Amino acid sequence: MKLWSSYLKEMTIAGRGFYFYIEIFIALVMLIVLLVVVNENPVSKEEEIVYYDMTPFMFKVMTNKEISDGQLRMGNEKSFTLKPGDFKVINDKSGEKEHYTFDEEKVIDVKTLETLDAKTGDLIKRAYVADNREDMIRLAHQEKSRGAVIRMKEGEFAYQYYLQGYETDRLVNLLYLMHNDKSAILQTQMNRQDVRELETHKTLNARENVIPLFITFAGSLMGFFIVMAYIFLDKGEGVIRAFAVTPSSVGVYLLSKTGVILTTVLISSTLITLPVMGFKPNYPLFYLFLIITTFAFAELGLLVASFYDAFEKAFGALYLVMVILMVPAFSYIIPGFDPVFLRFFPTYPVLQGFKDILLNANDMSYVLSYSLVFLGGGLLLFWGAQRRLSRTLCSG
């Protein structure tokens, strides 16, 4: 009863303050960004500058075939302003250097050829067709794009690439192989290869992939930060002293604060997740994991708050903890960056756990085992925070 009335009081105060609305507002902004700005499946588009060193008839023959196959289409003409400049081009084999100097600005109009994905029909490459080699080199240099000269040599197409210089050896080798006139040999080799694919893993699309990040940081970072803010607001108003001379326990006081954080996080997380994910995730597990992890991080906030008597004095610790909580986001955003030490950061398993839940993965043992870890940790932090705050709540 005391906990319930304390919780209702805290919710009334939160509803009349601005911290509560900050998180709801952030959730709404995030939702709008996800729905409006983030594509579900963004396709990375490649751009190259091409000069066809051949007769217009040959160019037509070459492109018409691909256009009729549905793999190519003519795009709109585009205008480029070539700026004056000075650069060198090095021959990859001979090492010979060609020096280019352009003193005048030049405006060129180029045709556009768009290559489409054979399966989906999505645009995957855009080629700007320059009228001469010099314009192609100049434009490739200016746009930092790959350049190519395509010409007829002994009845076959021959390719000359102009790269930026920072491409990997693997890409350069691939370009050598790609237009190999002995492609028949390659085909034979390919037929000999036995390629088998692993069962396709469920993946989140680009929009859905942002949700674990938001939910984790709404629950952990905001929970940690806002619960500290609430404690220091109460210390500032002196109401803790009045609470301390009632038969109610410090535990009730702390749990009522945690309750407000949980309510806020549940609302903001639902606001984001439901419109984007629909009913796809395992919601009972989603809310269980959300409540447990938010509880644990809120208790961490209470424990840190117990060491300080004013918000400004707690800034150093606050900043440090928030940075620690944020670091695993790098691993989440950049899958190639996954050092082992990051797995010991508390938000790392939270991010992975939410990802599993949103994917509705078959094996939820990871989520359930970490739920137990966070529940145990949260209770331990609560016990510590309660002990410390019982002694220090009225100071300052």
**Residue 152: strand pairing partners:** 157
Rounded to a whole number of angstroms, the minimum distance from the CB of residue 234 to other proteins is 9
Nearer CB in complex with other proteins: 242/380: 242
Rounded to a whole number of angstroms, the minimum distance from the CB of residue 301 to other proteins is 21
Nearer CB in complex with other proteins: 266/394: 394
Nearer CB in complex with other proteins: 241/343: 241
Q: Round to whole Å and give the CA distance between 34 and 210.
A: 8
Q: Round to whole Å and give the CA distance between 114 and 70.
A: 11
Nearer CB in complex with other proteins: 8/274: 8
Q: Round to whole Å and give the CA distance between 82 and 131.
A: 13
Which is nearest to 17 in space by CA: 221, 213, 216, 237? 237
Q: In terms of DSSP bridges, do strands 123-130 and 72-82 run parallel, antiparallel, or are they unpaired? A: unpaired
Rounded to a whole number of angstroms, the minimum distance from the CB of residue 16 to other proteins is 4
Q: In terms of DSSP bridges, do strands 106-116 and 72-82 run parallel, antiparallel, or are they unpaired? A: antiparallel
Nearer CB in complex with other proteins: 46/237: 237
Please report, as ranges, the residues that interact with other proteins according to CB under 8 A: 1-2, 5-6, 9, 12-13, 16-17, 237-239, 241-249, 391, 394
Rounded to a whole number of angstroms, the minimum distance from the CB of residue 21 to other proteins is 13
Nearer CB in complex with other proteins: 231/291: 231
What does the block give as tokens for 98?
């060609």
- In three state form, how does the secondary structure of 29-55 look? HHHHHHHHHCCCCCCCCEEEEEEEECC
Rounded to a whole number of angstroms, the minimum distance from the CB of residue 347 to other proteins is 32
Nearer CB in complex with other proteins: 1/37: 1
Rounded to a whole number of angstroms, the minimum distance from the CB of residue 328 to other proteins is 36
DSSP letter, residue 131: S
Q: Round to whole Å and give the CA distance between 14 and 254.
A: 15
Rounded to a whole number of angstroms, the minimum distance from the CB of residue 239 to other proteins is 5
**Residue 238: strand pairing partners:** none
Q: How far is CA 296 from CA 20, 22, 351, in A?
A: 19, 21, 15
Q: Round to whole Å and give the CA distance between 292 and 27.
A: 20
